[in-house]
Amino acid sequence: MKERLQKYMASCGVASRRKCEKIILNQRVKVNGTIVGELGVKVDEEDEILLDGNLLQKENNKVYILLNKPKGYISTVKDERNRKTILDLINVKERVYPIGRLDKDTSGIIILTNDGEIYNNIIHPREEKIKAYKAKVKGKISSIDIEKFKSGIDIGGYITAPSDIIVDKVNLNTTEVTIKIHEGKNRQIRRMCEAIGHDVLELDRISIGKIKKGNLSLGKYRDLTKSEIEYLKNFK
């Protein structure tokens, strides 16, 4: 049964469906010897599909990894400046790519897979899925600050959706908090905290929906369980 080219490419582990669409529009794909430069083309396994001259085949062995990323690593497959990426931390035969990102100075869990079908379920869910972070910020969080989180914060041309911040520990010059959001704007938590005058000193993601870091050590990874995989496939 034929399916859209971008969906087929995603199932081959190339990238997310949305990124595959960009690859197609950049005319990097050939189907049966003809360059494809528009969306809507349908293919199946009998077609010869080349990406940058390399034959694409569906990846039968699906891989789902949960990595506890340390600070200092970037969440991309390649880096033009030769910085350390999260792929330097894993050792699998299959080509995998991260779903979502954590900035270089943020630690915590991130999912990597070669199953492009689940990408949009996580990045663009139909229902709100909470991502939780532990943070240490400068200064003391006040009740006014908490209300700002619950109301939405202007982070520069964008007002965030209502979110939650819970004070875990108050130190002399810092506060340790748990922050829960369901959006994923670039450096969102850091920008939210900066907007209310509390720069982030440490930031660690501890859960993605129902998937939790648990006792996974920093820099280590594990396979997702069957129940976690099913949860991701229905993450919409």
- Identity of residue 73: Y
12 Cβ contact partners less than 8 Å away, ≥ 6 residues apart: 56, 57, 58, 59, 116
User: Would strands 174-181 and 107-113 be described as parallel, antiparallel, or unpaired?
Assistant: unpaired
DSSP H or E segment with residue 226 = helix 226-233
Q: Which of 44, 79, 88, 103 is catalytic?
A: 103
Q: What is the pLDDT of residue 127?
A: 64
| DSSP track, 80-111 | TT---BGGGG---SS--EEES---TT-EEEEE
- Which residue bears the tokens 């010897």? 33
pLDDT tens track of the chain, all 236 residues? 889 999 888 878 788 888 899 999 999 999 988 999 999 999 987 888 999 888 887 767 889 999 999 999 999 877 778 899 999 999 988 878 888 889 999 999 999 988 877 766 776 666 668 999 999 999 999 999 999 999 999 999 899 999 999 999 999 999 999 999 998 889 999 999 999 999 999 999 999 999 999 999 999 999 999 999 999 888 66
Q: What is the pLDDT of residue 217?
A: 97
Q: Is 103 a catalytic residue?
A: yes
Give the start-end residues of each E strand in 32-157.
34-36, 42-43, 49-51, 54-55, 64-69, 97-99, 107-113, 131-138
pTM for the full model? 0.78
101 Cβ contact partners less than 8 Å away, ≥ 6 residues apart: 75, 76, 110
Separation of alpha carbons 126 and 96, rounded Å: 25
Separation of alpha carbons 203 and 103, rounded Å: 10
**Per-residue DSSP letter, 218:** T
Is 64 within 8 Å of 111 (Cβ atoms)? yes
Separation of alpha carbons 108 and 28, rounded Å: 34
- Which residue bears the tokens 């034959």? 55
Domains of the chain: 3-55 (3.10.290.10), 64-125+211-233 (3.30.70.580), 131-208 (3.30.70.1560)
